[in-house]
Amino acid sequence: MAQEDSTHLRPSLIKHGGLQKFIDSGKTLSVTVSPRDDSIAVYATSNSHARPSSNSSAEYHPIYMAIPHLPPSGERRTFLTDTSVIFAAAQNLVRVAREESVQIPDTVDGIKAMTKLALDYVNHCKECCIYAAQETARRESLQFDADHYRKLYTCFSLFMVLYMPEGGFEDAPVGDELMDWLNTHYIEPSTEDGDRLSSLDRPWEDETFWHYLTRATLRGLSRASAFFLGVLSQHPSPNLQHLSQRLIPLLTNHPRLHQFAAERDFAVASRRWKDKVKSLRLELDRVPEEDREDGFENWWERFSDIVSILEGRGDSVKRIVSELGGDWKEVCAVWSVFVDTRIRRSDLPDLVEDLLDELPPDPTNLEDVIHSSLFLGRPTQALSQAAELDIWLAAHLVDIMESLQLIDVEPDDSEHSIRDHYILSYAEYMRSDPSLWRLTVDYMSSCSEIGKAMADQVLMHVPLRLHRPKGAHEGETEIAQIHAGQLAGVLKEVIATCFEYKREEVRRMICRIAAQTFMQEKEYGLAVSYCASAEDWPGLGRVVDRVLEDYITEGPETFARLVANMSPVLHSLRAAPGAHGVFLHRLMFAVRFAEFHQRRMMGDLQEAAFDLVAMFREDLAPRSWWAVILSDAVELLQHSQSMLFTNNDAVLFLHKLQEIDMRCAQGAQDDYLAILARTMKGAGEKQIFQRLQVIRLVLARYTARCGVIGVGGRTTQGTVY
Amino acid sequence: MLQTGLIPNAHNDLVTDASYDFYGLRLATCSLDQRIKVWQLDETNGTWAVESEWKAHDAAISKVCWAHPEFGTILASSSFDRTVKVWEQIPATESDAPQVNGSGGAVLTSKWVERAMLVDAKGTVRAIEFAPQHFGLKLASISSDNQLRVYDCLEQPSLTTWQMAEEVDVLNLPSGSRSNNNTANVATPTQQPSTTPEAASASLVAHALQQQQQQQGQPARSGSGNREADGGWCLSWCKDRYWGELIAAGCGASGVVKIIQLTQSRRPFTVLTLDPSPSQTSTNDASGKNAPASDGDTPTPFAITSVAWAPSCGRSYHLIATGGRDGRVRIWRVRPPLPSDELDGEPDGDASEGKWSASIVGDFDDHKSAVGRVEWNITGTILSSAGNDGRVRLWKMTVGNVWRPAGHISVEQADEQQADVDMDADAED
């Protein structure tokens, strides 16, 4: 996963060595970065910022897309998703501890819980390794091989052995646990060798026999050792027969820490056992030179090696392990079981430093390098190496390391702590798959303010997918739900995430974007409610403007239909306290105006007339719309069956008309007549004034009718609602 | 880095700019061929298909950029024809004659319409960028006449009325401190003799003369190449809201980037000049009287041709990347005044003046040739740069605030590759 790499895009734009020609022809490269997944688009562009001359059109002009990380797929995706659950649990633990203002390492329960979670990580690495090693047909090919997960497994479990001892074992000898770790991950001697040797009548004649026996002893595999020592009772040399019988109980009774309740007992038993080994050495030395060969091997030397391991001779251990192809880790484990049986975790760095001088780690093997850093007690260094191996490892190690106070928690110069740095790098890796945005946000939000702000960026760039798809789609139901006014799909999830992490600013922006989308789709009711949810009152005003614009361009029928679903929102808005002044006022006008047209078209003329009057009486109608409303009133005023307005209403209309005339005379035509002009579709000034004349005439006739009839239609003021 | 896609032939001529929309699902490209194309990503297979294309200008297009989606689906384009145009995508109605151009052939579901044309520039408009959405629908442009212009959209649903709110002569912009405006002007490093006569003629009068000359004297656009070698290059808005409207702009061949504060209460002024010349890293304009230092040794003048202001993402400092003709990618860490320096939290008060500071946290000459583009990712954690070495390079911050190279991409054929690559065969990858 190292990123210091170079990539050649294909098909190549420049022939090998052709760069200079490319540059000389006035071209260069340019790049732009995608907010979706940090992928970049690369293209050749004009280098001369002066007026560029057109290049030959015979060339092709490609745009390349490239991405910094391979997006997780197949088993890797599952692995990331599964371990994120553990991460969330760990976060929970840290949060609870913080709320109780305790440090996790200070409480037994805290450590226990954290250890359990770390073990979960280890087990997931193990399972993923086992899964990846299976030779079955898979739906998706593996992104990382079993060996990669094995490395994660060894590193994470070593971290646990060294830094997360079981409760009460913090200051206990570490040998057994190290040897267990080694035996779990680096199995030697191989089972195949064992099977093969055990099938032989005289296995000591096989060249691997003594290697096998020595390695089994080194690794503390007393049962295997004892079995083959037992076989040696058939060996032609009586000395060897005897010695091997003496050795068997020593191996099987090798005192191990876990067999003892107190370390003191362990120490005493170890001393006694060492004495027995010494007496075996004495017996061994008494074997005459001529009996030390069996015609295949110098069995005495081999046997002596085994005894020297038990004796705990450091130099012999190093030599024997090297000869057997073991590395510094094996020496270290053997050392802590046979040489210095009481070695503590805190002593390991010194020991390993010495060992590494003689048996250096393989610098090309990141796994080995990480192991050495962990052994040397350099967690920070281990992290940077882990990040090279797999940022997953660094991120999940650092999270635990910080909670255990193994690393510096203070932010550095860049205002990132070490933990945040690796967590954010990991989150950045996950961004390569946009559909992992939830996990990305979770990890980022677990960091300090900078991480949370980055999570904001990720959240707000999640495509909301509100547009109705062109064809029939699976997702259509969700989109239909959204359009029916429910929260569904991505929008629901994004908003829920905003609530979860209390990112109100982001939520509002998302609502504004949703409102804009709905406005474009003429879903005005939704647009208004999302504006309201974002408390975006200017935006609400723009939706109303757009609606009224639709009246002008599309006519009253369409307008009334589009606005129909706005009125419920209006009612809830008016019920809400602290509202929102001028924009709400405009919304009320639009809704009222639409209701008027709705009723008019339905033939409910009396109610329509009420609406018309109310728009003036309640001062809902903006001046620019007066002329339009009056013009729309003409139809009702001329209604022959009934008098729909009172005399007062008609007078009110006349007043408004008068004001329009007067203002226009003062030069404010644009303010008062522009919209009427637009509804009349390109009518000239003359026609507009004619229209006003018509209104005046109709009004005059109406007031006259009121006068003639005397009672004048209705005299009481129509109630508004 | 891994190649994930390819548009085999985006335009009929060199692509001059490309810009992803807010979600990265669409890519707008423009070209010397005077056309804009909008490409849509098919997320199921990672391919890009043209959604719309149209002839947008009467000359080569220099830049294209998207407005924030809360204003609608809006593009702006700038051109060598000295105009900036604002485009909006709207749903197509049945009666639509193809006003601009829709998706050819397929059912016309949407169309792009020209909403506004801004014609104030007296030279090539080289860069445009919409303001961060919290400042409203605003657009900044910078052009070869050295002017930074900021436009306000007055009628948002219609997008037709744009008012020029600011017109800033970047070279002669006064610094924040009122006392030494003039000295700051004189000391502008651009005003070195020789090599670039345009840089020297930066005064308004001279510039006006120059324009006249250009308009009258230059018969065609051919000879004007050198004339336009100087002028305004690049701009980038501060993405943060807290400090008010700030723009970083690169102009002329002085090698500096000015950070310009726009406020309603007073004329724009420079709060900080990012000057990499040795004596004045982190020049603070208010105390920037040390500028004459550049008179002694005359460094080769160069232009900063690209600037990118990273999203601040909760950091107490800002990251600004620059790329220039000197072949360097620089990452500046710009610190605003400490909050305690402010009396009442007003970012534009005089109290906060003079306390912006900057330092270089990354200075890379890996391109070893002119750098034409720098751009941040949305979290401000990865910087991409492109240069005349035919490479795109990535830069990342590592633990301890150390910026490091993080891989590069080449369009040059690798050594081991066959001499001719069959384009069609590879096109699908």
Residues A217-259: tens digit of each pLDDT: 999 999 999 999 999 988 888 999 999 999 999 999 999 988 9
Does residue A39 sit within a domain?
Answer: yes
Look at residue A358 and tell me if it is in a domain: no
Q: B23, A32: Cβ pair inside 8 Å?
A: no
A-chain CB neighbours of B161 within 8 Å are: none
Residues of B in contact with A17 (CB under 8 A): 412
Please state the rounded mean pLDDT for residues B174-179: 59
Q: pLDDT band for B299, please (50, 70, 90 cuts).
A: low
In this structure, the answer to whether residues A702 and A619 fall within a common structural domain is yes
Classify burial at A82, counting beta carbons within 10 Å of its beta carbon; exposed 0-12, middle 13-18, buried 19 or more: middle
User: How many other CB atoms are there within 10 angstroms of residue A72's CB atom?
Assistant: 21
Single out the residue in A457, A476, A499 at which a domain terminates.
A457
Q: Can you give the residue ranges of every domain in chain B?
A: 1-119, 170-216+226-426
A504 to chain B nearest CA, in Å?
Answer: 14
| B233 contacts A49? CB cut-off 8 A | yes
Distance CA B56, CA B54 (A): 6
pLDDT (mean) for B298-320: 90
pLDDT above 70 for A54: no
Q: What is the pLDDT of residues B122-133, one digit of tens each?
A: 999 999 999 999
Instruction: Tell me how many residue pairs between chain A and chain B have CB atoms under 8 A apart.
Output: 337
How far apart (Å, rounded) are the C-alpha atoms in residues B100 and B113?
Answer: 6
Whether A156 and A180 share a structural domain = no
Q: For A535, how many CA atoms within 13 A lie in the half-sphere containing its CB?
A: 9
pLDDT for residue B429 is more than 70? no
Taking the C-alpha atoms of residue B218 and residue B234, their distance in angstroms, rounded to an integer, is 25
State which of A343, A371, A395 marks the end of a domain: A343
CB contact under 8 A, A19 and B390: yes
pLDDT value, residue A476 = 60
In a domain, A663, yes or no: yes
Q: Choose from A9, A24, A378, A491 for mutation: most chain B CBs within 10 A.
A: A9
Contact yes or no for A457 and B305 at CB 8 A: no
Per-residue pLDDT, A104: 84
Assign residue B47 a region: left if phi > 0, alpha if psi is -120 to 50, beta otherwise? beta
Look at the alpha carbons of A133, A137, A138, A140 in this order and tell me if their dihedral is positive or negative: positive
Picking from A38, A63, A453, the nearest residue to B314 by CB comes out as A453
Asked if the structure places residue A7 within a domain, the reply is no
Residues A565 and A483 in one domain: yes
Q: Which residues in chain A have their CB less than 8 angstroms from residue B157's CB? A: 542, 545-546, 549
Q: Do A470 and B109 touch (CB under 8 A)?
A: yes
Same domain, A153 and A272: no
Contact A450 B426 (CB under 8 A): no
Model pLDDT, residue A1 = 44
Shortest Cα distance, chain B CAs vs residue A499, angstroms: 19
Residue A565's pLDDT band (cuts 50, 70, 90): confident
pLDDT band at A60 (very low <50, low <70, confident <90, very high): confident
Q: What mean pLDDT is predicted for residues A48-53?
A: 59
Is A368 inside a domain boundary? no
Of all residues in chain B, the percent with pLDDT exceeding 90 is: 61
What confidence score (pLDDT) does residue B295 get?
A: 44
Spatial contact of A157 and A122, defined as CB atoms under 8 Å apart: yes
Segment A603-612 shows an average pLDDT of 90
In this structure, the answer to whether residues A164 and A194 fall within a common structural domain is no
Chain B neighbors of A47, CB-CB under 8 A: 370, 372, 388
pLDDT at position A108: 84
Shared domain check, A299 and A207: yes
Average the pLDDT over each of A313-322, A384-393, B410-419 and give the range with the smallest value. Answer: B410-419
The region, left, alpha or beta by phi > 0 then psi within -120 to 50, assigned to residue B383 is beta
Do A322 and A187 lie in a common domain?
A: yes
Reference A313, options A331, A338, A330, A341; nearest CA is: A338
Q: What is the pLDDT of residue A577?
A: 62
Q: What is the edge-to-edge ordering of all strands in the sheet holding B2-7?
A: A27-33, A40-46, A63-67, B2-7
Q: Assess contact for B370 and A8: CB atoms under 8 A.
A: no
Q: Do B372 and A45 make contact, defined as CB atoms within 8 angstroms?
A: yes
CA distance A280 to B371: 77
Are A324 and A469 in the same domain? no
Q: Are residues A594 and A617 in the same domain?
A: no
Q: Which residue of B has its CA nearest to A9?
A: B411
Q: Give the chain B residue nearest A56 (alpha carbons).
A: B13
Q: Let me know whether A434 and A517 are in one domain.
A: no
Closest-CA distance, A445 to chain B, in angstroms, reads 12
CB contacts, 8 Å: B156 with chain A: 542
Per the CB < 8 A criterion, the answer to whether A153 and A125 are in contact is: yes
Q: What is the pLDDT of residue B291?
A: 40
User: Is A23 in contact with B388 (Cβ distance < 8 A)?
Assistant: yes
Q: What residue type is assigned to position A81 of the chain?
A: T
Give the number of other CB atoms < 10 A from CB of residue A328: 26
- Residues A555 and A679 both lie in one domain: no
**Residue A8 in domain:** no
The H-assigned helical ranges of A521-622 are 524-533, 537-554, 556-563, 567-575, 581-602, 605-617
Residue with the two structure tokens 């308009």? B215
Is 60 exceeded by the pLDDT of residue B223?
no
A99-147 pLDDT, tens digit each? 998 888 888 888 899 999 999 999 999 999 999 999 888 888 899 999 9
Closest in B22, B80, B392 to A29, CB measured: B392
The most confident of A631-645, B156-170, B222-236, by mean pLDDT: B156-170
Of B23, B391, B423, the CB nearest to A35: B23
B176–chain A nearest CA distance, Å: 27
**Which of the four pLDDT bands, split at 50, 70 and 90, describes residue A545?**
confident
Of A396, A424, A457, the position where a domain reaches its end is: A457
Strand partners, B306: B323
Substitution target in A20, A38, A40, A383 with the highest count of B β-carbons within 10 Å is: A40
Residue at A352 is within a domain: no
pLDDT at A140: 82
Q: Which residues lie closer than 8 Å to B357 by C-beta, 6 or more apart?
A: B272, B282, B284, B334, B335
CB contacts, 8 Å: B19 with chain A: 32
Q: CA torsion sign, A80 to A82 to A86 to A92?
A: positive
Instruction: State in Å, rounded, how far the first CA of chain A is from the last one.
Output: 70
For A696-708, b where at least 16 C-beta lie within 10 A, e where not — what string? bebbeebbeebee
Chain B residues within 8 A of A547 when measuring between CB atoms:
none
Return the percentage of chain A with pLDDT > 70, whole number: 94
Q: Which domain holds residue A632?
A: 607-721
CA neighbor of A230 nearest in space, from A249, A217, A212: A249
CA A215-A221-A227 angle, to 5 degrees, is 95
A366-375 vs A379-389: helix axis angle to the nearest 10?
A: 160
Instruction: Report the DSSP beta bridge partners of residue B394.
Output: B384
Instruction: Tell the burial category of B264 from Cβ atoms under 10 Å away from its Cβ (0-12, 13-18, 19+).
Output: exposed
Inspect the interface and report whether the beta carbons of A66 and B3 lie closer than 8 Å. yes
pLDDT at B425 over 50: no
**How high is the pLDDT of residue A573?**
80
Measured between alpha carbons, how far is residue B142 from residues A229, A528, B244, B250 in Å? 87, 37, 20, 9
Kindly report the number of other CB atoms within 10 A of residue B304's CB atom.
Answer: 29
Split at pLDDT 50, 70, 90, the class of B95 is low
Residue A312, in any domain of the structure: yes
Taking the C-alpha atoms of residue B75 and residue A570, their distance in angstroms, rounded to an integer, is 33
Mean pLDDT highest for which of A238-242, A472-476, B48-52? B48-52
Out of 3.30.43.10, 2.130.10.10, 2.60.60.20, 3.40.190.10, which CATH number does the structure's domain B1-119 have?
Answer: 2.130.10.10
Examine the domain organization and report whether A450 and A432 are in the same domain: yes
CATH fold of the domain at B170-216+226-426: Methylamine Dehydrogenase; Chain H (2.130.10)
Q: Which residue of A has its CA nearest to B44?
A: A435
| Number of domains making up chain A | 5
Residues of A in contact with B321 (CB under 8 A): none
